Structure 1
Amino acid sequence: MALVYLRELDNDTRFAIWKIEETAEELLNRLQLDEQEKSVLERFSKGKRTLHWLASRVLLRCLLKTDGFISCPSDENGKPYLPNYPYQISFTHSYDYAGLIMSQRGPCGIDLEIVKDKVLRIQEKFMKPNELAFIQNNNVEQLYACWCAKEAVYKLQGNKGVSFLENMTILPFQYKPQGVMTLILRKDSIEKSFQVYYEKFQDYMLGYVVD
């Protein structure tokens, strides 16, 4: 496994992206799993999903600088957490990469997506008309920045009942290869604003946020 990106956002928050070059067996040999984790792993079909899960757990051990067992269960909404460490975490993966953000400041979220034109076919499923109005000339990269922002906030808040289309609104922003946007989350009677950072990473788009 090769570290391709490591960034310290502040004294309390950092994220990393790794390129997956090992086999599932090689990754598994670097882990210590409890029975619950072994059960989760057995439910996956062989292939990328298994590699993504294993690589993200190896990456977690690398950032925490330990070869020992790390308890990393998921709550009732599927959000991973660390009962024995003072960090909140979020995983992401796409094709040959796995990513992780961890923070002592509060809940966090991260998303990595390979950039493809297919996003043009689904843009109206996750973007409101007033959001699409500020997209510059069907800019595929800008659309992916918006998708990654919404996915990162979705992971941060950890509630399965939140909709990209209905509950999240991105305020107009001028797209650059690296930047920040404001996302408003409205759910029931709660309204909250997030500053979500995005950047182009090779052929991918990356979005991340910390509460």
Structure 2
Amino acid sequence: MPLFKTIVVNSQTTVKIWKITESFEDLKRKVRLNPENEQRVSGMKSEIHQRGFLSVRCLLQSFDYSDADLYYDNFGKPHLRDGTYISVTHSFQFSAVILSNEPVGIDLEKQRPKIALIAHKFIDYEFDYLNENDSDYIKELTVLWCIKEALYKLYATPGLSFKNHCLVIPFSYDEDDTTAWIDFENSKCKYRAHRLEFEGFTCAYALQHN
């Protein structure tokens, strides 16, 4: 199953999600990689990562871009050569890409109980409104991680901390969006964060608050 879901966020912003059911060989036949990425994907030890890498290129093609249109800066942030903003993510059998005319970030994670073991590393303020006895606690933690990862990708500034600089305003679990902030050095920026769930995964994307 190639394209799993398309979300038109607004007239200038679109999210596409791919469900990776194809083999590495099938995905490889779908895309044309530049020589550097040919070598990169061949050197990956995990087939899951190889398939994730290739599925992102398939998503690029669904946006009418090619592997040659994508490059990464010194901080590992992806860019498109025509200036369109992009963020990418993949986790296990899903990958996602968001494109926009404004800075954006996206993350996708499988919901797993072990996230509770590292919650203290990426949450501070949010503990005030979380309840670890809540049946949705693991899902809520995964939402928070995804939102903060999306903010981190959007802001792409060395020294930014999930725990100390990214804040997510309390949200009801039946809501699909909330407000988030980055409070870093002398800058305080407000963002809108959206989330969705499917097949045991959480996806969140962030964009500037209008």
Task: Please indicate, yes or no, whether the TM-score normalized by the shorter chain is above 0.5.
Answer: yes
Per-residue deviation, 1:199: 2.0
Q: What code does the residue aligned with 1:186 have? A: D
Between stretches 2-11 and 158-167, larger displacement belongs to 158-167
Contact 1:103 1:210 survives alignment (8 Å): no
2:151 maps to which residue?
Answer: 153
**1:129-182 C-alpha deviation (Å, 9 max, x unpaired):** x31120143411111111110011111112242110121122222222x42222
Name the CA shift for 1:69/1:204 in 2 (closer, same or farther; >3 Å). closer
| Pick aligned residue for 2:121 from 125, 128, 131 | 125
Per-residue deviation, 1:90: 0.7
Alignment of 1:10 with 2:10, yes or no, is yes
What is the DSSP-based 3-state SS (H/G/I as helix, E as strand, rest coil) of the residue aligned with 2:180?
Answer: strand
1:171 maps to which residue?
Answer: 169
Contact 1:18 1:99 survives alignment (8 Å): yes
Q: What code does the residue aligned with 1:111 have? A: D
RMSD between superposed Cα atoms in Å: 1.7
2:184 maps to which residue?
Answer: 187
Name segments (4+ residues, structure 1) moved above 3 Å.
Answer: none
Identity of matched residues, %:
28
Instruction: Compute the TM-score of the two structures, normalised by the length of structure 2.
Output: 0.90
Contact 1:61 1:70 survives alignment (8 Å): no
Alignment of 1:96 with 2:96, yes or no, is no
Contact 2:34 2:68 survives alignment (8 Å): no
**1:74-109 C-alpha deviation (Å, 9 max, x unpaired):** 0010011111x34211111111111111112x1111
| Pick aligned residue for 1:142 from 118, 140, 143 | 140
Per-residue deviation, 1:126: 0.5
Per-residue deviation, 1:69: 5.5
Alignment of 1:111 with 2:107, yes or no, is yes
Residues in 2 aligned to 1:61 and 1:103: alpha-carbon distance in whole angstroms:
16
Q: What code does the residue aligned with 2:186 have? A: S
2:57 maps to which residue?
Answer: 57
